[in-house]
Amino acid sequence: MKKRAVFLDRDGVLNRTIIRNGKPYPPASVDELEIMPGVVDGLQRLKEANFVLIVVSNQPDVRRGITSRSTVEDINNSLAKLLPIDRFKICYHDNSDVCDCRKPNPGMLIAGAGDFDIDMASSYMVGDRWKDMEAGISAGCRTIFIEQGYNEKQPKVFDYKVSYFTDAVNIIMEGEM
């Protein structure tokens, strides 16, 4: 029997972003890492409902030379110690690299699904940016957009729009009843 997953963007969903001029940026170090409210309990509820939890995150600042790969991995390792994440799928490419893993492409979701034999139609993509929603739709997932009020392009299509991570978890759990 195929498993169900919740694919999770990292920055702005699991951890707080650093906002500059209305635009979100990832934490520059583990010292700046702050887990968003409700994430610890929400992920535990999803694990208890037998969802596989897979982080799918674009980290182009590595390619751009702004941050190191080891910094991204340190942040992921810190998250892994605090949260019941099953797998991290990270794209280190920039837009000009034309890869299939960088969201809005669904490559990271498809790879994660292959790792765990996931049924995409009964899975969810939870994100805070239009690229997350497009990747989830392309992969065949239901999508939950967490509105953060960023000063950037907003998604036009998604299944659900919420203000908080706990709202996203509640929608997923209601689908289980």
Q: 9 and 57 in contact (C-beta within 8 Å)? A: yes
**Residue 23 vs residues 41, 74, 148: alpha-carbon distances, Å:** 27, 23, 10
C-alpha–C-alpha distance, residues 81 and 122, integer Å: 27
Reply yes or no on whether 61 is catalytic: no
Nearest to 145 by CA among 131, 25, 34, 121: 131
Which entry of 11, 61, 128, 132 is annotated as an active-site residue?
11
Reply yes or no on whether 41 is catalytic: no
Q: 79 and 85 in contact (C-beta within 8 Å)? A: yes
C-alpha–C-alpha distance, residues 29 and 23, integer Å: 18
Active site positions, annotated = 9, 11
